[in-house]
Amino acid sequence: MDPLTMFQVVGTALSVGDIVVRCIASLSSLKSKYHNAPIIVSAMIGQLYMVQSALDQLSVLKSPELRRTPRYKELASQVHHALDSFGPLMKALEEVLDRLDKDAPLEMTTKSRITFLWSEKDMNNFSMFLDRQVNAFNLLLQAIQCQTLAQQREVMDREESQSILQLARDYSSSIVGLDDTSSFISEDTSGISTRFAFDPIILRSRLYQQAERSHLRQAIRAGKSPEPNMTLPNGRYNEKATEENSPVELSGELSLHIAELNQNHGTSQEAQLGPTNDQFSQGPSSPATALSSESSGFGQFARRSKSITSIRLNSWWKSFQRRESDISIHQLDGRDPRRVLILGIPESGKSTLHRALSLIGQPNLFAEKRDMYSHTIWRQAIESVRSILEAMERLGIPLKIRVGGHEVEKAFAEIHQYGAKEATFDSPSKELVDVICSLWADDGFQSAYKRRNEYQLNDNAAYFIKSIDRIATPEYVPPDEEILRTKQETAEFTDTTLEHMGSRYAIIDSPGAGAQQNGCERISEHTSTILFTIDPTAYSRVLPGDEPVDRMQEQLSLFESTVNDRRFLQTEFIVVLTKMDLLEDYLRDNDANKCFGAYSGLDVVDTYAHYLEGRLLGLISSDEVRERTRVVRSNLVDVGRRNPALDIIAALQSFAGSYSEKRRFAANAFLDFMSSDSGLRMV
Ligand SMILES: Nc1nc2c(ncn2[C@@H]2O[C@H](COP(=O)(O)OP(=O)(O)OP(=O)(O)O)[C@@H](O)[C@H]2O)c(=O)[nH]1
Ligand SMILES: [Mg+2]
């Protein structure tokens, strides 16, 4: 028997290209007839555009020459029936759509809506099944792009690739019914990521971009910019997200890892364990179904009658629907959150970024805790004054003026006394507040402050000291911006789940450097994006601790080792230059030119930031990783008017790394549109 050839594999897929086009047309027609058509119609149009783009790319391979190329022969045998069900699936979908389009009433009444919803369920299954096929297509395209046989083998031998093919094969054999008894639908997708190195090719394709543009146009036409909109008030997508796909399971998996990590660090976090990994994977993959080459390949589907295919597909749907409740939510809509890990040296702003991101999803994050934070702010202000006074002593800087009748010793003693007491906020004396105001006006105090790089001082010391008379009043209620200025050392990994424009992110904050490295080992496999915080004011400062460690050197080395770590080869990086608001003052007080050597002009914020960005990007050894790296400059505490963390979200969304992300983005624009007044209204 002839072995399967690339010509057959590709030919089979291409033979139904016209049907794909017709299905897109039918879905569009349905959508235009129903002002309030179900969301799945829009989602499927996007999905089919994906398929069409993949076919477009594959069409170059239809040459019979490929029959003879050993590399493609091997590839064909590896793909081995994974795409067999694509043809029948498209044909059955076309039938369903024909029927729906024909029977569609002009007005969608409650009754017709119910009828439609029945079909919607089928379409959801179609949509999920299509996903498996698109994954297999993607893999095929990725392998074909390889330059050598060795590279191709490397791609195909990956565990992830094998899982993708196995899954597509399992579904194929269930659908075409060639060996129903020996095959079953595997639910084990845990090892499959939705990201492929090949995805950008699809994303760059004309068809996909057209589809995406059209989605965005609709969203814009509906008067909605793709500006952040945390929740869709009536959006089904989000309802699903919070009810069916509540973060519990996903977060549970993540919390499991985080709890483990924290346990390893000997921290005290009580793990809220969710389901174990075993609960997420619901059984082993089935063995590949052995099929003869006669019953597969090009021509096979042409011989199958449409009705037989449909009957089999229908029965597959039914059995699938029964199993629906057993399926992991990863499979139902592919909306598992992107896992975003925040890394950086101590005090580089990781937790501030984490908190700013959390505020996007939970604007009332601090509502219950403002009272507590007013004490924290007062305490940190007093501690800052004390640190400066201590530094004056150590550096031999005298106070230039007498402080409101107080000598420095007296002021010092008083501050000490306040620093020693825990919650002294209730009664900060007017006298003490005056002392602090006078200290701040003192030249000696100021020159010690300017030398803050020589000792440890809270980054927001100046802000709090300057605001002391406001902070010291009993009526003081700190706004979010000021809470974000407080410093709290992070001892353990913490995560938060953020929903934004239909995308979900599990964002993990990490503790200081030592613990971070241990944690990274374990958490890396779950990370799609790393937010790397860089403190631009770190030069000429040392890290707190026994050994003097140059902060800037430390963060450049940590960045270099992280960004070039093999485990993160597929990871997206967003470098966040934090504390941009503090930079101008810091550059004025500390000569960056001296610190960085031969460069000049580094006393200007923009020139310095530009130089630092160049240094950071220069540390990335892989071009691919550099392409997947974005830099965002941020003043993280300035959340008053517009949360700066939205820029990070925009950077997250800008990645074209995975087609599913892009699709999600486009779908979300749709969903936004559908949930707007001019869009979908649930009956
Ligand atoms: N003004 C200003 N302060 C910032 C900014 N980013 C961080 N900070 C402050 O810098 C200090 C350290 O920030 P954190 O977020 O606690 O740093 P971290 O990296 O989490 O530190 P560890 O948990 O100790 O590793 C805090 O006082 C923050 O308020 C910023 O953009 N502007
Ligand atoms: Mg922290």
Here the CATH number for the domain that contains residue 429 is 1.10.400.10
* CA-based nearest residue to 461, from 536, 397, 398, 377: 377
- Residue 658, pLDDT > 60, answer no
Q: Calculate the alpha carbon distances from 486 to 81, 101, 373, 479, 639 in Å.
A: 59, 60, 8, 12, 14
- 423 and 449 both lie in a single domain: yes
- Ligand 1 atom 7, closest CA: 349
**Distance of alpha carbon 70 from alpha carbon 67, whole angstroms:** 8
The neighbourhood of ligand 2, an ion, using CB within 5 A, equals 350-351, 490
- 611 and 470 both lie in a single domain: no
- Residue 291, pLDDT > 50, answer no
Phi, psi (5° rounding) for residue 71?
A: -60, -45
In ligand 1, the atom with minimum distance to the C-alpha of 348 is 19
Q: What percent of the chain is modeled with pLDDT above 70? A: 57
Q: Which two tokens stand for residue 365?
A: 């994050």
534 is a domain residue: yes
pLDDT in tens, 69-108: 777 777 777 776 777 777 878 888 888 777 776 665 555 5
Distance 389 CA to ligand 1 centre (A): 23
- Residue 436, pLDDT > 80, answer yes
Q: Calculate the alpha carbon distances from 356 to 349, 496, 605, 647 in Å.
A: 10, 11, 23, 11
- 343 and 379 both lie in a single domain: no
- Ligand 1 atom 30, closest CA: 579
- Ligand 1 atom 8, closest CA: 349
Report for 122-136, 332-346, 501-515, 659-673: range of highest mean pLDDT: 501-515
- 518 and 630 both lie in a single domain: yes
**Distance of alpha carbon 166 from alpha carbon 136, whole angstroms:** 9
- 417 and 454 both lie in a single domain: yes
- 38 and 95 both lie in a single domain: yes
SS (H, E, C) 586-648: HHHHCCHHHHHCCCCCCCCHHHHHHHHHHHHHHCCCCHHHHHCEEEEECCCCCCCCCCCHHHH
Q: Is the beta carbon of 350 within 6 A of some atom in ligand 1?
A: yes
Predicted local confidence at residue 670, as pLDDT: 43
415 is a domain residue: yes
- 94 and 125 both lie in a single domain: yes
269 is a domain residue: no
Res. 655 pLDDT band, cuts 50 70 90 = confident
Q: Is the beta carbon of 383 within 6 A of some atom in ligand 1?
A: no
- Yes or no: say if 55 and 20 are a contact pair by the CB < 8 Å rule: yes
Predicted local confidence at residue 133, as pLDDT: 77
- Ligand 1 atom 32, closest CA: 579
Predicted local confidence at residue 301, as pLDDT: 23
Q: Which two tokens stand for residue 468?
A: 């002391």
Task: Domain of residue 400: give its range.
Answer: 367-483
- Yes or no: say if 48 and 663 are a contact pair by the CB < 8 Å rule: no
- Yes or no: say if 318 and 208 are a contact pair by the CB < 8 Å rule: no
Mean pLDDT of the chain: 69
Predicted local confidence at residue 115, as pLDDT: 57
Q: Which two tokens stand for residue 565?
A: 């770590």
Ligand closest to Cα of 356 equals 1
- Lowest mean pLDDT of 408-417, 446-455, 648-657, name the range: 408-417
459 is a domain residue: yes
Ligand closest to Cα of 581 equals 1
Q: Is the beta carbon of 344 within 6 A of some atom in ligand 1?
A: yes
- Ligand 1 atom 27, closest CA: 487
Total residues belonging to the chain: 683
Q: Is the beta carbon of 551 within 6 A of some atom in ligand 1?
A: no
Of 483, 518, 544, which closes a domain? 483
- Yes or no: say if 573 and 559 are a contact pair by the CB < 8 Å rule: no
- Ligand 1 atom 6, closest CA: 349
Predicted local confidence at residue 19, as pLDDT: 84
Predicted local confidence at residue 53, as pLDDT: 73
Predicted local confidence at residue 33, as pLDDT: 65
Distance 287 CA to ligand 2 centre (A): 47
Phi, psi (5° rounding) for residue 476?
A: -60, 125
Distance 681 CA to ligand 1 centre (A): 44
- 359 and 375 both lie in a single domain: no
- 371 and 356 both lie in a single domain: no
Q: What is the residue-wise DSSP string for 401-419?
A: S-BTTB-HHHHHHHHHHHH
Q: Is the beta carbon of 11 within 6 A of some atom in ligand 1?
A: no
ipTM of the complex: 1.00
**Distance of alpha carbon 525 from alpha carbon 516, whole angstroms:** 15
Predicted local confidence at residue 337, as pLDDT: 80
pLDDT in tens, 157-189: 887 788 788 887 776 665 554 333 232 233 333
Predicted local confidence at residue 71, as pLDDT: 76
Q: How many domains does the chain have?
A: 3
168 is a domain residue: yes
The mean per-residue pLDDT over the stretch 194-214 comes to: 47
Res. 35 pLDDT band, cuts 50 70 90 = low
- Yes or no: say if 141 and 56 are a contact pair by the CB < 8 Å rule: no
Of 463, 483, 503, which closes a domain? 483
Q: Which two tokens stand for residue 218?
A: 């609709």
Q: What percent of the chain is modeled with pLDDT above 90? A: 25
Q: Is the beta carbon of 635 within 6 A of some atom in ligand 1?
A: yes
The mean per-residue pLDDT over the stretch 585-599 comes to: 86
Res. 367 pLDDT band, cuts 50 70 90 = very high
Q: Is the beta carbon of 352 within 6 A of some atom in ligand 1?
A: yes
Would you call 681 helix, strand, or coil by DSSP? coil
47 is a domain residue: yes
- Residue 270, pLDDT > 90, answer no
Q: Which one is predicted more confidently, 624 or 460?
A: 460
Q: Is the beta carbon of 351 within 6 A of some atom in ligand 1?
A: yes
- 519 and 625 both lie in a single domain: yes
- Residue 591, pLDDT > 70, answer yes
pLDDT in tens, 302-359: 222 222 222 222 332 232 222 222 222 222 234 568 889 999 999 999 999 999 999 9
262 is a domain residue: no
Predicted local confidence at residue 58, as pLDDT: 72
Res. 47 pLDDT band, cuts 50 70 90 = confident
Q: Is the beta carbon of 485 within 6 A of some atom in ligand 1?
A: yes
Predicted local confidence at residue 165, as pLDDT: 83
The mean per-residue pLDDT over the stretch 444-462 comes to: 95
- 477 and 543 both lie in a single domain: no
- Residue 447, pLDDT > 90, answer yes
Of 483, 514, 548, which closes a domain? 483
Res. 464 pLDDT band, cuts 50 70 90 = very high
Predicted local confidence at residue 195, as pLDDT: 35
- 519 and 442 both lie in a single domain: no
In ligand 1, the atom with minimum distance to the C-alpha of 487 is 27
**For residue 359, what is the domain's CATH number?**
3.40.50.300
Ligand closest to Cα of 647 equals 1
Predicted local confidence at residue 264, as pLDDT: 47
Q: Is the beta carbon of 309 within 6 A of some atom in ligand 1?
A: no
Phi, psi (5° rounding) for residue 629?
A: -115, 130
The mean per-residue pLDDT over the stretch 494-501 comes to: 87
In ligand 1, the atom with minimum distance to the C-alpha of 582 is 1
314 is a domain residue: no
**Distance of alpha carbon 670 from alpha carbon 495, whole angstroms:** 29
